[in-house]
């Protein structure tokens, strides 16, 4: 599968995006990149990396299975101490944007719509 999407496109959506991730439900990660402005990138160990990817795949699968009951998942927002993690899904693909905690949470809905649009055009 050829994906016409880059981390730079995700970073361009909002100045507070520190990390961009794109992957699919089968475990393939197309990119996982920190913004060039990040002074101290997150460097997970192998167990933490496995859990992060497993979490992403779990969100995709749960979203697919619950869609007939609840409809499409607009976005999932996880609030960690370090950042907000905004997660969107289109078909079997996902995008994650990690934003600094000083980001106004009210922008998440608009940002997720832009991410959905970007991902659907890239497929």
* SS3 state at 17: strand
E strand or H helix that includes residue 46: helix 46-70
Q: Find out if CATH 3.30.450.30 is the number for domain 7-122.
A: yes
Predicted pLDDT at 55:
87
Query: What pLDDT is recorded for position 2?
Result: 64
pLDDT computed for residue 88 by the predictor: 96
pTM, to two decimals: 0.89
Q: Comparing C-alpha atoms, which of 21, 34, 111, 107 is closest to residue 60?
A: 21
Could you read off the pLDDT tens digit of each residue along the chain, which spans 123 residues? 567 899 999 999 999 999 999 998 888 899 999 999 998 787 888 898 888 888 888 888 999 999 999 999 999 999 999 899 999 999 889 999 999 999 999 999 999 999 999 999 988
């Amino acid at each position: 599968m050829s994906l016409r999407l880059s981390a730079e496109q995700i970073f361009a959506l909002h100045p507070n995006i520190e990390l961009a991730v794109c992957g699919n439900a089968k475990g393939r990660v197309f990119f996982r990149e920190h913004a060039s402005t990040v002074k101290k990138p997150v460097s997970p160990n192998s167990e933490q990396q496995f859990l992060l990817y497993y979490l992403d795949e779990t969100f995709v699968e749960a979203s697919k299975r619950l869609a007939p009951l609840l409809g499409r998942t607009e976005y999932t927002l996880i609030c960690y101490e370090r950042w907000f993690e905004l997660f969107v899904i289109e078909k079997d693909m996902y995008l994650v944007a990690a934003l600094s905690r000083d980001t106004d949470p009210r922008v998440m809905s608009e940002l997720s719509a832009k991410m959905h649009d970007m991902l659907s055009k890239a497929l």
